[in-house]
Structure 1
Amino acid sequence: MFVAANTATTPASPDYCRLLGAIDPVDPTAQKINFQLNLPTTWNGKVVQYGGGGFNGTLVTATTALRDAAPDDPLPLTRGYATLGTDSGHQASAFAANAIGQFGLNDEMLVNYGYASYRKVKDVAVALMQVFYGKGPSKTYYFGGSEGGREGLAMAQRFPNDYDGIVSVVPVVQLSMLFASYIPHAQPQFNGGWLNAGKVRTLAKFVSDNCDTLDGLADGVVNNYLACPSRVNLQGIRCAGGVDVSDACLSDPQIATVTAVHTPHTYSFPLANGLTSYPQWMWGNESSPDTLNGVSSVGGLPLSTMTRWVTGTAPPTVAVNAITDAQQWLYGSNFVRYFITRDPTFDARTYDANNYKARVQQVSEIIDASDPNLSAFFTRGGKLIMRENIGDLAQSPLAGINYFNAVAAKVGTGTMEQSARLYISPASNHSGPAASVTDGSAVPTMVDLLDPLDRWVTAGQPPADALTQTRKATTAPFALQASRPMCRFPNYPHYVGGDVKLAASYVCAASQL
């Protein structure tokens, strides 16, 4: 289908041909793999494959802006890239809203979700480009965040000859461990440990009070992320006697919930690549504005990223309420019921991985993207750019940091310097945005990672040690409102004086425990 250029909106889109297709399953009980390939009339000879999100199941059209893009950043299509997306081999619309992991009951659909579908649609797309353009792409990139970030890493690990560059933002690297870690986060909430919006706000302010100025500036933003954890002692906001009396403090059960989030989740046996634990979450940005099923406020306060991911807008329910329950409980209980026990009636509160060791290890091998050996990918010139958001409460940023360090230990620091970068956006939540705990003002978090990747791959020009994140007006002329450096790990933006809204007023300094 031919789609005419649209220059009436920003970002504009060019003339392109939209191809919708499907790959039939081998198992007749499995669902097909849907995909969309967009072929611009003016092609730069390259293709960007978009990653998915969550459990997938919705067709990624690959016609939208990349995540973290500024409002005036041109679309990949507008830059001349062919673009590609998929639903990874199942359709979420076939399942109830509280049973979105049901596809995990089918072996082929689970493997397609884990890794297989992304290469399948890429291979079909290349064949179609050869017909349409008379040649295949000169460069193939994978760009994704969260689940899509995991997909990108999985491609580098499993199919190193298929991709030239990968952008992996907040990747859910140890996905099976991540999903399972959601269960102990929810368990205390069934026993009085649920935090309402007011208590989340109290927690966020307490963390900010202890860690905000470690970056040289009192602005309600925690930038010095590695120095913060040792300064947070929850006894400082414990209600008298540990009993819930008001939103100004946390009861002992509520402290148990927060403590569970900030405690590693360990196993008595190894999962894929020998890993035996999932790391704790980081501190800061707990009250950053977010949404849950279209709801943006609760209890007279903006709905926070902690409410979305950890606590929900009401205490959790065993059967899972897809509207009010936290995303962690939705995903965690679905993982246990459909991926591991394969019993839709299983009470996820009682889950013990030791009772399902063989299945846990099997699923880990399918969906975890934790293999640190990227030698083959790097040897053929592949480039990797990762980004972690420290205010992420969907997954632990330490998982991605630990993975990056494991890759460095495997391939050597010289190879890493030539081939990989990890940047840290200290205050950003899982989706990218961030806001000051003090006044609610938006923090600069927008950045283009496609152009730096392309210059690195095609021209051998490595990305700068600090990339500039921006905050811009959402309407033309998209005036710059603020900027701040996004530093390479383990550095963070430290304020040194001048206009706090300008990146030049910060230097990248080492963050240390």
Structure 2
Amino acid sequence: MIWWTSNPDAVIDFGWRAMHTAVDSGKTVVSNYYGSSANKSYYTGCSDGGRQGLQSFQMFPEDFDGVVVGSPAAWLSHQQAWSIWMTKHVFPVNGSSWIPSDMWSVIGDEVIKQCDTIDGVADGIINDPWRCYFRPETLACRSNSTDSCLTSDQIDALNKIYHPWIDVNQTYVFDGYLPGGEAQYDSVHLASTAPDSIGLDFFEYLVYNDTNWDWQTLTYADAVFFEELNPGQMIANSHDLTEFAGESHNGKVIHFVGLGDPNISPGQSLHYYRQVEQYMNLNSDLDIDDYYRFFPVPGMAHCSGGIGANAFGAADTSSATPPLAFDADHSALLAMVQWVEEGIAPSKIIATKYVDDDSSNGVNFTRPICMYPQEITYTGNGSIWNATNFDCE
């Protein structure tokens, strides 16, 4: 990350300029080659690619007609502070709050035991983790316990991990992890011998230009400073979609997030969606369902992987592409094209889980991904591994 401190232009390129310039150049090439401009333009990206998609329609609403974004790293100032904040809950290594890697599978099994059947189906996947009120106290060490249990300090740490970061005066900073992704949660912020390197690099090189900065001193004030600095205008957290979604452009957004995401709290995607809805309802006459649809993906990790159905024709959603069928019912990108060009808005997308996430190994199961706030509901008939036996209600 040393280039951040030695090349200010590269920081701007990372923030927004490279993407916008590439889009402009691409449109020029198309126009010159074909003798006419493209009728429509689309984008799909996940993680920082998701941030780039949001940044595009926030700063340059004319760049794309339809944008498919996944797990966007949009609120970078708060997200990178949060990644370090989560580590602080369990540090130091082997201290009283430390949760060893092998304990996370035990925690995950208890989460499934408590919450798997909330949706009426015992499949090891929690469709709506916001309805799971996980009680880690059930794993508390009894007087004769020796292992596979939690101490009081570990339980306190877990409660912090699963809840939003709320600072003084009830200031919302960032969302917490959701129950159900424990198989991934130990791999990024919670079982390493140091904080996530990306968050650490952001603060050491980009924010403070000080490799001796002590991450253990991090507070909400560091997130605020990062946000005020906003190097390269890289924060993509505007809630004003008026120019993009208004009648003059009529742009569309499909936003998906894996509910087992270990890199960026999946609750943060819901928070952004709700903030957009609130702002736009207060400042426009637009109905959010006409321009922005949010699709939580049960069991999926960060942009791909995880235990859920994760192949649905969007950027990085599976190592196996295309999905089972490459059409608007099974592909988020083609659903976007259909929405923009035919006016048919998607309310669900059929996702495929391949064996070992490899299409050459065959289909494991299929499952619908429902537009929020609808939920996946089993009809009560037929195999629970076939999407046709589920509705979105």
TM-based fold match above 0.5: yes
TM-score in terms of structure 1 length: 0.65
1:17-416 alignment, distance < 5 Å: 100=1, 103=4, 106-187=7-88, 188-191=90-93, 192=95, 193-228=97-132, 230=133, 232-240=134-142, 245-246=146-147, 248-266=148-166, 276-287=172-183, 305-312=184-191, 315-317=192-194, 329-354=196-221, 357-363=224-230, 366-379=233-246, 380-412=249-281, 414-416=286-288
Which sections of structure 2, spanning at least 5 residues, go unmatched? Answer: 313-330
Q: Which has the higher contact order (CA 8 A, sep 6+)?
A: 2
Count of residue pairs brought into register by the alignment:
364
TM-score in terms of structure 2 length: 0.84
CA contact (8 A) 1:186 1:257 kept: no
Please state whether the residue corresponding to 2:303 is helix, strand or coil: coil
- Shift in CA distance, 101/456, structure 1 to aligned 2, threshold 3 Å: farther
Find the counterpart in structure 2 of residue 87 from structure 1: none
Residue 445 (str. 1) matches residue 310 (str. 2): yes
Task: State the Cα deviation string for residues 313-351 of structure 1 (Å, max 9, x = none).
Answer: xx414xxxxxxxxxx621221122122221012121222
Task: State the Cα deviation string for residues 162-204 of structure 1 (Å, max 9, x = none).
Answer: 2111001111221210110112211232152333332010110
Post-superposition offset of 1:276 = 4.6
2: CA distance, partners of 1:355 / 1:469: 39
Please state whether the residue corresponding to 2:43 is helix, strand or coil: strand
Post-superposition offset of 1:488 = 0.9
Post-superposition offset of 1:160 = 0.5
1: CA distance, partners of 2:5 / 2:288: 35
Which sections of structure 1, spanning at least 5 residues, go unmatched? Answer: 1-99, 288-304, 318-327, 436-442
Please state whether the residue corresponding to 1:491 is helix, strand or coil: coil
- Shift in CA distance, 489/128, structure 1 to aligned 2, threshold 3 Å: same
Q: Which amino acid aligns with 1:259?
A: N
CA contact (8 A) 2:83 2:199 kept: yes
Identity across the alignment (%): 23
- Structure (1/2) with the larger helix percentage: 2
CA contact (8 A) 1:378 1:415 kept: no
Task: State the Cα deviation string for residues 222-268 of structure 1 (Å, max 9, x = none).
Answer: 1132210x2x1221112247x9942x112344334433322322456
- Shift in CA distance, 173/359, structure 1 to aligned 2, threshold 3 Å: closer
Please state whether the residue corresponding to 2:102 is helix, strand or coil: helix
- Shift in CA distance, 368/238, structure 1 to aligned 2, threshold 3 Å: farther
Find the counterpart in structure 2 of residue 37 from structure 1: none
2: CA distance, partners of 1:217 / 1:358: 46
Residue 508 (str. 1) matches residue 376 (str. 2): no
Q: Which amino acid aligns with 1:277?
A: V
- Shift in CA distance, 482/361, structure 1 to aligned 2, threshold 3 Å: same
- Shift in CA distance, 330/316, structure 1 to aligned 2, threshold 3 Å: same
Q: Which amino acid aligns with 2:159?
A: T
Instruction: Indicate the RMSD between aligned Cα atoms, in angstroms.
Output: 2.7
Q: Which amino acid aligns with 2:19?
A: Y
